[in-house]
Structure 1
Amino acid sequence: MSHAPGTGIGGTPIAEEALRAARVLHPDANSMPRPARRRVITVANQKGGVGKTTSTVNLAAGLALHGVRTLVIDLDPQGNASTALDVDHRSGTPSVYELLLGETTLADAAQASTQSENLLCIPATIDLAGAEIELVSMAQREARLKEGLTREALEAIDVDYVFIDCPPSLGLLTVNALVAADEVLIPIQCEYYALEGLGQLLNNIELVQRHLNQTLTVSTILLTMYDGRTKLADQVTQEVRRHFGDVVLKTIIPRSVKVSEAPGYGQTVLGYDPGSRGAMSYVDAAREVAERGTNRELRP
């Protein structure tokens, strides 16, 4: 029996879309692999508006919904990751601020997100806004976060992945995130000036590698806000792939109204509209991240 093209049979685009949607809507049947060793990933780009927080929470949710225990540390005083994951981040709530000061433990500050039982978050409260100034006078100021993320502390909450969401700056909070991590994930938007400031970020990462964290690697670059209607988006995509090669994920995140709307409802896009293109793209990206982690030798 013959089938007209585009009817959803075999490897047609409709069939591929249906498969992607199934992975989002039926996560139990599409579990993702746990990493060979626990992965601590800092999501950084000092350029604002590149989809940094959006990528952090949606990649984390994608992994968590597919059976992988994941922690998000909100290190941005704006607290947008805390909002998107629907965790309490009112002033006085045990948060990353107290963790940096050594006044609370990881287990005491971690809250379960409403998005998944596998998804935890250390929130950011307004108190974090003054933390950079306070950190300046502290001993081991660049390693305060690392001191809170000991192997024992991470084992106590039983997580496979830690994603650290940085503020859009290269200050002490971001340095703390780079010192605490094994890997850096850099979101880059498919727009004009996409690579502006990236050299400065890479220079800072290199300084941290040289002086504070020799095992740190730029493991992942994620292209975001892709608009297929523009020639520029393709040009940026090609340029980034030419510069960074296999570090760039194959999955590209499209520009999406649903992705932008979700945080306003205290949700990731996977919770807000799981069948949307944005949700499916983030699940695909999370799967790529997970599959890269199954055979990579990383520190515990």
Structure 2
Amino acid sequence: MIRVAVANQKGGVGKTTTAINLATALAAVGWKVLLIDLDPQGNASTGLGIGQSGREISSYDVLIGSAGVVEGAVATRVPRLELLPATMDLSGAEVELVSLEDRARRLERALDAVPSGRWDICLIDCPPSLGLLTVNGLVAARHLLVPLQCEFFALEGLSQLLQTVERIRLAFNPELQILGIALTMFDKRNNLSQQVADDVRACLGQAVFDTVVPRNVRLSEAPSHGLPALIYDLRCPGSEAYVRLARELMGRLPRHAEAA
């Protein structure tokens, strides 16, 4: 199973929107997909229409070892897409994990126990921080996708994240690779958006995906209906961009994940 962490410690960069819609696009082409919600806010769970009553077992239970990933995964409205939901219990997990053995490898060990062939790919939606929850996501993953908002402060956050990734590589996970940087919330009316996009491409070159996700109101509306934007409005500019981004993503992933 391919494991991709979707992470950026800066909030409001379109991270969860990216995770939900890429997971939907991959499921639509036949992949068996697991999306893990590691954010205490539970936005990925809400955005896929999983209410509190459908979160009996959550990623918190998996991290503390009281439940397994397969046991906690719930079906979504998207065929072949399952979700390990999040609850507010996660907000206390940072403190609880400190006293546990191998606290940085809790999620990795849980995913290692998943039977082979259960899912083709796992996307991990990390919280907007560089705490133990995000560390668990980065240690468990083999690939990192970074959504990056097209504004100045996003560049500062990116440098911090890249430093953290290097420390994770050295201490826990030498296999972690940056799959790509996805430029999000691009406003073509704003010169700064283009300038930031140009600067990121100049610094990181081929690591940056060609597809740029525009700022789009339909992407913002979709979660309130408990639907991915790709289902809420497939023809809006945001959804079309995520379809292209998913195609690029598949081109960068290892070939051993065949469509189901």
TM-score range, shorter chain: over 0.9
* Equivalent residue in structure 2 for 1:87, among 50, 54, 64: 50
Deviations 1:108-141 (A, max 9, x none): 1001111x22101000012111111100100100
For 1:117 and 1:128, how far apart are their aligned partners in 2?
27
Matches within 5 A, 1:177-192: 177-192=137-152
Matches within 5 A, 1:107-126: 107-114=70-77, 116-126=78-88
- CA 1:130–1:162 in structure 2 vs 1: closer, same or farther (change >3 Å)? same
In the alignment, structure 1 residue 132 sits paired with structure 2 residue 94: yes
Query: Cα distance, 1:159 vs. partner?
Result: 1.2
Matched, 1:96 2:56: no
- Of 149, 165, 171, 2:111 maps to 149
8 Å CA contact retained: 1:222, 1:252? yes
Give me the identity figure in percent.
47
**Residue 91 of structure 1 contacts residue 125 of structure 1 at CA under 8 Å; is this kept in 2?**
no
Note closer, same or farther for the CA distance 1:229–1:296 as it changes in structure 2 (3 Å cut). Answer: farther
Which residue type is aligned with residue 133 of structure 2? L
Is 2:12 aligned against 1:49?
yes
User: Aligned equivalents of 2:142 and 2:83: distance in 1?
Assistant: 19
Alignment match, 1:207: 167
Q: Aligned equivalents of 1:204 and 1:46: distance in 2?
A: 10
In 2, Cα distance between equivalents of 1:40 and 1:293: 10
* Aligned twin of 1:242: 202
Residue aligned with 2:35, SS: strand
Q: Alpha carbons of 1:92 and 1:219: their partners in 2 closer, same or farther (altered >3 Å)? A: closer
CA distance in 2 between counterparts of 1:89 and 1:155 reads 29
The 1:201–1:94 alpha-carbon spacing in structure 2 relative to 1, beyond 3 Å, is same
- Assess, with a 3 A threshold, how the Cα gap between structure 1 residues 154 and 57 changes in structure 2: closer, same or farther: farther
Task: Quote the Cα distance in structure 1 between the aligned partners of 2:89 and 2:237.
Answer: 36
SS in 1 for 2:116: helix
Structure 1 residues 242 and 72 mapped into 2: Cα distance closer, same or farther (>3 Å)? same
Report the count of equivalent residues.
Answer: 257
Length-normalised TM-score, structure 1: 0.82
Contact 1:79 1:89 in 2 (8 A): no
How many Å separate the matches in 2 of 1:163 and 1:280?
A: 20
Q: Does residue 257 of structure 1 match 2:217?
A: yes
Letter of the aligned partner of 1:108 in structure 2?
E
1:92 Cα offset (Å): 6.3
Residue 69 of structure 1: CA displacement? 1.3
Displacement after TM superposition at 1:211 (Å) = 0.7
- Gapped runs of 5+ residues in structure 2? none
**C-alpha separation between the residues in 1 aligned to 2:87 and 2:235?**
32
AA partner of residue 291 (structure 1): G
- The runs of 4+ residues in structure 1 deviating greater than 3 Å are 88-92, 294-297
Paired residues of 1:89 and 1:95 also in contact (CA < 8 A): no
Q: CA, structure 1 residues 215+53, in 2 after alignment: closer, same or farther (shift >3 Å)? A: same
- List runs of 5+ in structure 1 lacking aligned partners: 1-37
Which residue type is aligned with residue 104 of structure 1? A
Distance of aligned partners of 1:94 and 1:218 in 2 relative to their CA distance in 1, 3 Å threshold: same
TM-aligned CA deviation for residue 97 of structure 1: 0.7
Alignment of 1:5-20 (within 5 A): none
Per-residue deviation, 1:91? 8.6
Q: Is the 8 A contact 2:179 2:252 kept in 1?
A: no
Q: Partner of 1:33 in structure 2? A: none
SS at match of 2:34: strand
How many Å separate the matches in 1 of 2:102 and 2:52? Answer: 26
Residue 87 of structure 1 and its aligned partner are, at CA, apart by 2.1
Shift of 1:89: 3.6
Determine which of 91, 103, 106 is the counterpart of 2:69. Answer: 106
Question: 8 Å contact 1:106–1:154 — kept in the other structure?
Answer: no
Q: Deviation of residue 155 (structure 1)?
A: 2.4
The superposition leaves residues 206-259 of structure 1 with CA deviations (integer Å, 9 ceiling, x where unpaired) of: 111001001111111100001111211111111111111111111100000000
Report if the CA contact (8 A) 2:57-2:71 is conserved.
Answer: yes
